[in-house]
Amino acid sequence: MQVHIDALGAEGHGLARLPDGGTLFVPGALPGEAVRVLPTGGGQALLEEIITPSPDRVDPVCALFGRCGGCSVQYMSLPLSLRWKVDIVTRALQAAGYADVPVMTPWQALPRTRRRVDLAFRRVDQGIALGLHRRRGDVVDMTECHVLEPALFALLAPLRQMLHSLPAVRRGGDLQINMLDSGPDLLLATDGPPGNDDRRILAHFAGEQRIPRISYRPPASHDVPETVAQTATVWHEFSGVRTAPPPGAFLQPSRSGEDAIRQAVLHSLPAKRIKGDIIELYAGCGTLSFALATRGRVMAHEGDEAAFNCLRQACGGTRVQAFHRDLNRQPVMANVLAKAGAVVLDPPHAGAGAQLAQITDGKPLHVIYVSCNPTALRRDAAALRQAGYRLERLTVIDQFLWSTEVESVCLFTRPPPPRRR
């Protein structure tokens, strides 16, 4: 059947509205296109032919597109991708009850600026395949990438040779790389235990490639990673403060994206002197903490022990005080939040959970919410609206090019209580 694509769905699939009132989702189709499709049931259809292409349709820049499990919408121009992501976040907030969404100028990363990646590797006939998983399939060897920093991508070729020589790699494993200010930081997991030969090979590789640290993650996820090779001090700066991130530490995907989030948060703080402490929830290693400290005293809370230790050790001489606290089991209470000059939270993908109930009970005047999940944002924003909060500001940030992922920074405020005579 032939249909007209009217919009994009949350997964980037073209949406066609049918004469009978139904809808079809067509992966690979763009708004404004006339396409011929094959319905497959459940409101889904396969794209068979593009009759009238959209002016926003472009040729994928990567030869691996369609096989590699990374980029999913490289046929979509980047300007359209940014408009679509702004629309996703805007509609989530409208569904939460905010009819008027004040959107600031959105921000989008440049290609080849991503500084962290989680890869898989498998032994193959010719050596090692290192890359991302094929959609619902095996590892696709990353012979090309238009997302990663060039220095990070250049490391993949020698990594293949090294992994091929490791006795601990029987069938395969996983590898996380963070490009810290001190250099590449590797966290390795294999399907065999590392022995003396593995440690010797890893130490030689670290020295040869100028990698400050290589760590090994045991099969049990709760075990602390072991440093198997270290050639130099591991460090990374947040807002001019040097920290020592643990293996596998969370970093924003790009340096410029981290700065965009930081600036959006700082611009959301009260313009005048902040009355009360800034309470930061889910602080991590200090991505925002030390920037917030330029505006007031910061009470930073983090549940992950390794990240907390990193933050605590860097707090000396700053206006940041770190607290180790599982915010899902032991949230900061409403009576403490009520006295805050501002509450800043960057919750995990699932949202703020039990902590949000304490925020809505405490009713601090300013809540700055950093979101990586529009679905969780919609749920949490609805609770804030029911508690009397207004949405004052929205900044959409696209750090994940050619994907469905989107981040945002929202400022929620509530009117101050009336003054007594």
Helix, coil or strand: residue 88:
helix
Handedness of CA 106, 110, 116, 120 (dihedral sign): positive
Q: Is 198 annotated as a binding residue?
A: no
Q: Tell me if 346 is assigned to a ligand binding site.
A: yes
Rounded Cα gap, residues 391 and 376, in angstroms: 16
- Was 252 annotated as part of a binding site? yes
Please tell me the distance from the alpha carbon of residue 313 to that of residue 316, in angstroms, as a whole number. Answer: 7
CA–CA distance, 205 with 214 (Å, rounded to integer)? 9
**Are 183 and 210 in contact, with CB atoms under 8 Å apart?**
yes
The catalytic residue among 71, 285, 315, 372 is: 372
Q: Is 372 a catalytic site residue?
A: yes
For β-strands 342-345 and 278-281, DSSP reports them as parallel
CA atoms within 13 A of residue 130's CA, in its CB half-sphere: 25
- Show binding-site residues for S-adenosyl-L-methionine: 252, 282, 302, 346
Which residues are part of a known binding site? 252, 282, 302, 346
Which residues carry out catalysis?
A: 372
